[in-house]
Amino acid sequence: MKVLLITDGIPPETLGGAGRIVLETAMGMHKRGHEVTLVTTAKETGEEVRDGVRIVRLPQRGKRWMHYLSVFSQKRAQEILQIIDEVRPDVIHGHVLAWQCGYRWIYGARGRGIPCLVTAHDVSHIAYGKVVGDETALWFRDARRFRWSWNPVRNIMIRRALSKCHKVLCVSDALKKLMAKYGVRHLETLHNGIDLTQWKNTMSQEEARMQLSIPTDACVFLLAGRLGPDKGTLLLKETLPKDAHILVAGDGELDTFTAWGDRLHVYTRQSGEKMKILYCASDVALVPSLCFDCFPTVNLEAMACERAVIATTRGGSKESVVDGTTGWILDPLDTTGWRDRMAWCVAHRGELLAYGKRGRERVEQKFGLAIYLASLEQHYAAAIKKHH
């Protein structure tokens, strides 16, 4: 079948988990015999063919008026519809859309009789920024946070556009429940999958640490992704054991970590290959999010690389990490609990390998790319059948 994927950004322009998932989905679908085109945005426009996938880059827009442009911009809709008319896909699969690609093209695709699905990787379809998940007046919070850029009809128009899709696939049950709370329909959970031939140990822990010039005998934690208080940086400031080291792979404020001195090792904008080295070098991956973290890719990648994970109860981590088996799920407000668990990891470093082994087994059973793509093909086929 002809498949058209649409998303705001992919690597190397963006290094977030969603971008990597979309790119791996495109490559995987091509390997399974489908004709795949991927539409995204970048500072430098143009086309390329990467591993058999045609990638079309539209110009990135500034974020100043994004909450208006995402639902009102006819120009962006026409740019995407022009590609749709050229490709004439059997099915369209949207991903992250709220900042660049927008939603208006969905109506045009529907009018052309092309079925659409959208995967919700985050809360951007229902909120302007990070949420906790239990807000009672999210619209008021967004209006207060974003002030002049707040669009009073944004969420209504996004919800209306999504209602024209065959399905809205949520990356976790937790996200599905949250989106249903805000009136989004046609929801179904489809957990992301990762390429297990890529995400695996490629070197010993000692070799990785020698390459990174970090101690081979210390307990090393890994924090990857966007940095900030909502991602738990302040929590780690209070709970990191004094004799442990930490690898920080991400962008954001680093002032919080200066007190750690030479125990802190910072790596910004890491590619997938470089991230594997960091996973190999670490003992435990940390996902200390205070915000609603829908289904962190870090969990899957760390477990695939045979590393234990400590994550929080907020969001979908509990659907990938099995508490007490492949890692631990802790309340982000329980500072004592985090401190005690991280201290336990330092004292029982040798036992962490078993958690990592079980993590690899779980990813192989539940979250491999082949499993994900097979499920996605079924959704595509059902959508196409319904529209013919």
Give the number of C-alpha atoms closer than 13 A to the C-alpha of residue 351, restricted to the C-beta side.
Answer: 9
> Which residues 6+ apart lie within 8 Å of 37 measured at CB?
2, 3, 4, 5, 53, 54, 55, 56, 83, 87, 89
How many Cβ atoms sit within 10 Å of the Cβ of residue 364?
14
Statement: residue 147 has pLDDT above 90: no
CA dihedral 55, 61, 63, 66 (to 10 degrees): -90
Q: In Å, what is the CA distance from 34 to each residue of 30, 136, 365?
A: 5, 44, 25
Query: Look-up: residue for tokens 């904008």?
Result: 269
Token pair recorded at residue 169: 């696939």
3-state secondary structure of 136: coil
30 and 51 in contact (C-beta within 8 Å)?
Answer: yes
Q: Average pLDDT in the 343-347 region?
A: 98
Distance CA 107, CA 362 (A): 39
What percentage of the chain has pLDDT greater than the value 70?
99
Token pair recorded at residue 383: 């959508």
> Which residues 6+ apart lie within 8 Å of 156 measured at CB?
none
Mean pLDDT: which of 127-136, 230-239, 369-378 is highest? 369-378
202 and 275 in contact (C-beta within 8 Å)?
Answer: no
In this prediction, residue 236 has a pLDDT band, given cuts at 50, 70 and 90, of: very high
Distance CA 186, CA 176 (A): 10
Statement: residue 63 has pLDDT above 90: no
Cα 34–Cα 35–Cα 37 angle in degrees, nearest 5: 130
First-to-last CA distance in the chain?
Answer: 14
What is the model's pTM?
Answer: 0.94
In this prediction, residue 254 has a pLDDT band, given cuts at 50, 70 and 90, of: confident
Q: Which residues pair with 266 in a beta bridge?
A: 248
Q: Average pLDDT in the 349-359 region?
A: 97
Distance CA 385, CA 388 (A): 5
In this prediction, residue 13 has a pLDDT band, given cuts at 50, 70 and 90, of: confident
Q: Average pLDDT in the 348-376 region?
A: 97
Helices (H), the chain: 17-31, 66-72, 74-87, 105-111, 138-146, 154-162, 173-181, 205-212, 233-239, 272-281, 297-304, 335-347, 352-366, 369-386
How many Cβ atoms sit within 10 Å of the Cβ of residue 142?
23
Provide the pairing of β-strand 245-249 with 264-267: parallel
Instruction: Find the length of the chain.
Output: 388
> Which residues 6+ apart lie within 8 Å of 261 measured at CB?
none
Q: Which residues pair with 368 in a beta bridge?
A: 194
Average pLDDT, the chain: 94
310 and 286 in contact (C-beta within 8 Å)?
Answer: yes
How many Cβ atoms sit within 10 Å of the Cβ of residue 271?
11
Distance CA 23, CA 8 (A): 12
- Which one-letter amino acid corresponds to residue 93? H
Give the number of C-alpha atoms closer than 13 A to the C-alpha of residue 31, restricted to the C-beta side.
Answer: 13
Statement: residue 257 has pLDDT above 90: no
Statement: residue 204 has pLDDT above 80: yes
Mean pLDDT: which of 87-96, 133-142, 249-258 is highest? 87-96
Peptide bond into 12 cis (omega under 30): yes
Statement: residue 299 has pLDDT above 80: yes
49 and 16 in contact (C-beta within 8 Å)?
Answer: no
Question: Within the chain, what is the greatest distance between any pair of CA atoms?
Answer: 63
Q: What is the pLDDT of residues 70-86, one digit of tens each?
A: 999 999 999 999 999 99
Query: Look-up: residue for tokens 């307990």?
Result: 219
What per-residue confidence (pLDDT) applies to 48?
Answer: 95
340 and 314 in contact (C-beta within 8 Å)?
Answer: no
Distance CA 40, CA 102 (A): 11
What per-residue confidence (pLDDT) applies to 127?
Answer: 94
C-alpha closest to that of 230 among 312, 303, 173? 312
